[in-house]
Amino acid sequence: MVDFAKARTTMVDCQIRTVDVTEYDVLDAFAAVPRETFAPDHLKPLAYIDEDILVSAPGATPRYVMEPGPLAKLVQLAEVGPTDRVLDIGSTTGYSAAILSHLAASVVALESDETLAAAARDNLTALGISNVEVVVGPLEGGHAAKAPYDVILLEGAIELLPQALIDQIGEGGRIIAVVGANGLAAKATIYTRSGGSVSGRPAFNTSVRTLPGFAKPKAFVF
């Protein structure tokens, strides 16, 4: 039997602290959320390995719970505060939303795969998390019904940040995205709205799985 509590402590100490995640509230959130809850049954014993967890059904577009280190760095970059409203894009089975629920006032977890969204609802309910709403829709469209948000966090690499998401961030808000083709040699980037305009700056290099729906349009070639 796996000692999940011990494995979770080891994850925080050896996978998250070691990549310069130092904010205590972020560390506490990762220490509090049982990652095994969000893994498929056959992968629960591997829930704390330093890798992504495949959670999509066979034949579906491959979707993953992001590995702990990069996810923690992105969450720390977002500087989520206790009064913030967060849009978590590509939340799969709800792990990232559960983490964010410990940091924010409310979280909208957007997922395009209805099966994964249903799993997220069940997982969050099982843990008694009540400040997360799981919604289904195209990831690139965001969820305008609950905008504006203080933080928008994208759970994977993108090639293009859609205007729809820019329009949904409030004044002083942050969009956290990993920008780069196929998630390779990509840059975690923070976009901030100030004075009505949004500007971005790269924060660190990382490599994460691609989030579907954010590819650049194909250029027409003569």
Query: Percent of the chain, pLDDT > 70?
Result: 96
Round to whole Å and give the CA distance between 114 and 87. Answer: 17
| Predicted local confidence at residue 216, as pLDDT | 81
Q: Which CATH superfamily is domain 4-206 in?
A: Vaccinia Virus protein VP39 (3.40.50.150)
Residue 98 has pLDDT above 70, yes or no: yes
Round to whole Å and give the CA distance between 126 and 175. Answer: 29
Q: Which amino acid belongs to residue 27?
A: L
pTM for the model:
0.95
* Residues contacting 166, CB < 8 A, separation 6+: 175, 191, 198
Residue 183 has pLDDT above 60, yes or no: no
Q: What is the mean pLDDT of the chain?
A: 95
Average the pLDDT over each of 105-109, 133-137, 150-154, 156-160 and give the range with the smallest value: 156-160
Look up residue 47 and give its DSSP letter.
T
| Predicted local confidence at residue 181, as pLDDT | 67
Where do the domains of the chain lie? 4-206
CB of 174 closer than 8 Å to CB of 201: no
Residue 219 has pLDDT above 80, yes or no: no
